[in-house]
Amino acid sequence: MCGIIGYIGERQAQSILLNCMARLEYRGYDSSGIALSSTNIEVYKDAVRVNELVKALPKIDGIAGIGHTRWATHGEPSQVNAHPHCDCTGNIAVVHNGVIHNYQKLKEQLSQEGHKFVSETDTEVIPHLIEKHYQGNLEEALEATLHEIEGSYAIAAITANEPKLVVARKDSPLIIGLGDRENFIASDVPAILDYTNRVIYLEDGDVAVIRKDEVSIKNDGTEVAKKEHQISWTVEDAQKGGYEHFMLKEIHEQPKVIRDTLGEYISLAEPIANFSALSGQPLEDMLLVACGTSYHAALVGKYIIEELVRIPARVELASELSYTQQPLARTGIVAITQSGETADTLNAMRRLKGAGKKVIVINNVVSSSASRIADQTIYVRAGPEISVAATKSFTAQLMALYWLALSYSKVDISRLDSLVMELRQLPRKVQQILDNAEEIAECARYLAKYENVFFIGRGINFPVALEGALKLKEVSYIHAEGYSAGELKHGPFALLGINTPVIAIATQDNTYQTMLTNIKEVKARKSPLIALAEEENGVIGELADLVISVPKIDAVFSPVTNAVALQLLAYYTAKQRGCPIDTPKNLAKSVTVE
């Protein structure tokens, strides 16, 4: 959350920075700003999105600069609170992602020393501390500053006196992009893909000096070797590719994501893997930890593991893990995070590691913080996910969980064979749903006029009901709640009626008959009902007001097909309501604060 960008080279920095910032906007978009260095530092910023900043800006000269897209933590979105922030002289500019915990104390001290503050942000202490320590060398001043601040940060600083960018990282992501007589810094890879695919991932404690033709990195005062990585993601991966929104593009990429993730890991002839982080003692149970949509993938994972591996699985929200019992010695632990940077998930992983546990992480971003903490990483092959609402990463996470469960599965060989056969069919079945988008769009047009919706599911599709509700609320702003169908009568029934539609996931597994009863109960309370039902299900057609048909598949894989249908439902509902689908208000893709 919050996006940082920086450029130094031979070209005019302004348009490059703005272009990169537009690509980084999914990290936060309540304000944006740039600082350019020429004979002096020029700062332009406001509580506006990047496209509006572009329109408002005059042409500013400068071949070095920094930029920022903000997700407010300290102080409302406003012109003064937007980054970059400057020192008293206006000669030092800083952008920051993270939280400075001791900023109040530092602000008081600096104020007593005569520094004038204009914003409510924690960040503003950084340029003032740099100013205080500056004796002609920006990196030395930044290093002295880092000794005084506590918290998490990716920081980039410039001064008109020196032709360089100086950056530091602790617990917030930052990369260096390497070009030809130009270099970049960014919070994330997609921001700079237009210019380069050669990157260096900074580690915690790194302080780097970036010139147009030279990069040097120190950690704890010692020069560290630069390890260059070639990024396989392409510019096209991070563009809309003809789709109106990233969310729609990413939904449509799912057959490929399934194929890529399966192809990477699962030899369909022998779907067995060796997870070093789980080896040693026989597994007695599993603990899965995650946030947001990844948490819903973890909940589906619980059912997958319990059905295929036949051991109990427990799922905890990462932010709640510290309040719960530590896992046992023979518990296999899996953290799930698309970005690999979610603060709550990272903290939960550190806590588990601190207690001597081994942790596997299911992650979509190479060299993320999560994969550095984990003992083992399962990279999913979702490619860059730009829309704030997670879609293809959820499906890819499920693929990793199927792989893990199949590797430890205790089902008999004929069941294993049939599961593998079904897995082969999954991309085609997901494609069938995508081809059926018009039916779903019609349901969306019907749904769009309501303000409260319940999603119900049972068994392995209960978490899919939670995810369906999350998708709908985040992109369409309709209040939506996911419920186990059995729980609906324990409270939410009081809200049912003609203005409260219910979306029921009616997969034909061992939950089906009870779900039919639940659907009848809902209809008896006059709620409009949309059912997700397998094709050729005549019974549901008679009960439901509208039906979204999904292809028949082994129930253990039905969360994939059902989730894709509900993603499309959320997308088209949001579109009907004219919402900013890829960047919903107040949200951010990567939440790097607790």
Q: How far is the CB of 389 from ligand G6P (least distance, A)?
A: 6
CB-wise, 14 or 293, nearer to ligand G6P? 293
Q: Which of 132, 212, 471, 589 is labelled catalytic?
A: 589
Q: How far is the CB of 591 from ligand G6P (least distance, A)?
A: 5
Residue identified by tokens 């409510």 is 120
CB-wise, 389 or 548, nearer to ligand G6P? 389
Please tell me the total number of residues recorded for the chain in this structure. Answer: 594
Question: 360-380 burial by CB neighbour count: b if 16+ within 10 A, else e?
Answer: bbbbbbbbbbbbebbbebbbb
Residue identified by tokens 């919903």 is 584
- Amino acid, single-letter form, for residue 222: T
Which residue's CB atom is positioned nearest to ligand G6P?
292
CB neighbour class for 513 (10 Å; exposed up to 12, middle 13-18, buried from 19): exposed
**Which has the closest alpha carbon to 33: 128, 107, 99, 119?**
119
CB-wise, 19 or 338, nearer to ligand G6P? 338
Q: How far is the CB of 90 from ligand G6P (least distance, A)?
A: 35
Which three-class secondary structure string do you get for 571-592?
HHHHHHCCCCCCCCCCCCCCCC
* SS3 state at 214: strand
Q: Which of 2, 20, 443, 579 is labelled catalytic?
A: 2
CB-wise, 195 or 402, nearer to ligand G6P? 402
Q: What is the dihedral of CA 217, 221, 223, 226, to 10 degrees?
A: -30
Would residue 2 show up in a list of annotated catalytic residues for this protein? yes
Q: Which residues bind ligand G6P (CB under 6 A)?
A: 291-294, 337-339, 342, 345, 388-390, 587, 589-591
Would residue 575 show up in a list of annotated catalytic residues for this protein? no
Q: How far is the CB of 141 from ligand G6P (least distance, A)?
A: 33
CB-wise, 367 or 511, nearer to ligand G6P? 367
* SS3 state at 58: coil
CB-wise, 175 or 217, nearer to ligand G6P? 175
If you ran DSSP here, which 8-state letter would residue 525 be given? T
Q: How far is the CB of 21 from ligand G6P (least distance, A)?
A: 19
* SS3 state at 76: coil
CB 527 within 8 A of CB 485: no
Q: How far is the CB of 594 from ligand G6P (least distance, A)?
A: 13
**Which has the closest alpha carbon to 262: 528, 522, 544, 560?**
560
CA atoms of 32 and 2, how far apart (whole Å): 9
Residue identified by tokens 């985040």 is 474
CA atoms of 439 and 569, how far apart (whole Å): 10
Q: Which of the residues are catalytic?
A: 2, 589
